[in-house]
Amino acid sequence: MTLRVAVTGASGFVGQALATRLILDGEVATGIVRRQFDAPFPLCVVSGLDDKRLAPVLADIDVVVHTAARTHVMREDAEDPISAYRAVNVDGTLAIAKMAAEQGVRRFVFISSIKVNGESTSSGAPYCYDSVPAPEDDYGISKYEAELALKNLATETGMEVVIIRPPLVYGSGVKGNFAAIVRLVNKSVPLPFGAIRNARSLVALDNLVDLIVVCLSHPAASGRVFLVSDGEEVSITELIRQLARAMGKRQLLLPVPSWVFKVCLGLLGKKSVADRLCGSLVVNIHHTEQVLGWHPPVSLQEGLREMIESSGG
């Protein structure tokens, strides 16, 4: 049966890739956005997630996938950051979820974040689907509060809720620190990342989209939390080597100890950057694989290569 799916944030990194995949799969996808753009799927342009014009659109929808969010802000200028995150990630999420339930939408798939679990797995134990949530920053806190609100709404209304917590997502169009690393590698300049022995889980955009597609209709997905990754871990040192290979570049990595990074970046007020570069964050996806019978279709090496090729690198 053809699914009718509404994707919020359909102009964004994950939302656009998902809506495009749905159209290619023969499903009916509608993008919910705040601005018009050239898309291969129909759009519903709204002023916000509480826009009443959404109601008749949602009345014809089977599943809502909520990718829209206030994500990490590189240079925060909000006077009250946690309130700014809550306004979008909690209040906005609950507004469209309530409207969806009122219009008879069967399932609501929420793209949360591994930051709900915490910032690192320094103890050596990976995050699992049932790990106790311990968000530390405003973004992670707002995502966790949204998860709790959605679970309560599911109990009250009977609408099925599925929660997916991805770590860092990479792929064509990636931004932020990952894009900065790609640019550095592309320049073939010596980089001081030759001695960092951390372990981080990443997820290729294609893998995340593939899991979302499974969660649209899988009967065992309802009411569950799923972690997702490429199913392998990588150090920042090995990540840069793999990026260089994908680009056909020769990369010189200088063996600078991780403590030097932490001290230097800490003095520059960039402790969080140092933590992401040198710290570990590993997720265990065995529960996701067992419950859904899903496995990442793309390896880390394939995902990096496809990202570089699609960007013309």
Q: What is the pLDDT of residues 228-250, one digit of tens each?
A: 999 999 999 999 999 999 998 88
Contact, 123 vs 67, CB < 8 A?
no
Low-confidence ranges of the chain (pLDDT < 50): none
Can you read off the two tokens belonging to residue 139?
């973004």
Catalytic residue among 85, 127, 129, 139: 139
C-alpha distances in Å from residue 309, one per residue of 62, 99, 241, 245? 35, 40, 16, 12
The pLDDT of residue 265 is: 75
Q: Give the strand pairing for 107-111 and 160-165.
A: parallel
Contact, 207 vs 296, CB < 8 A?
yes
Could you confirm whether 139 is annotated as catalytic?
yes
The pLDDT of residue 284 is: 97
- What is the C-alpha to C-alpha distance for residues 280 and 198, in angstroms, rounded to an integer? 5
The pLDDT of residue 278 is: 81
Coil, strand or helix at 172: coil
Q: List the beta bridge partners of residue 253.
A: 191
The pLDDT of residue 75 is: 60
The pLDDT of residue 216 is: 97
The pLDDT of residue 118 is: 94
- What is the C-alpha to C-alpha distance for residues 312 and 310, in angstroms, rounded to an integer? 5
pTM for the whole structure: 0.93
Contact, 170 vs 307, CB < 8 A?
yes
Can you read off the two tokens belonging to residue 92?
């906005």
Q: What are phi and psi of 81, to 5 degrees?
A: -55, -45
Mark out the alpha helices in the chain (DSSP H runs).
13-24, 54-58, 81-86, 93-102, 138-157, 176-186, 205-215, 236-247, 258-267, 271-278, 286-292, 300-310
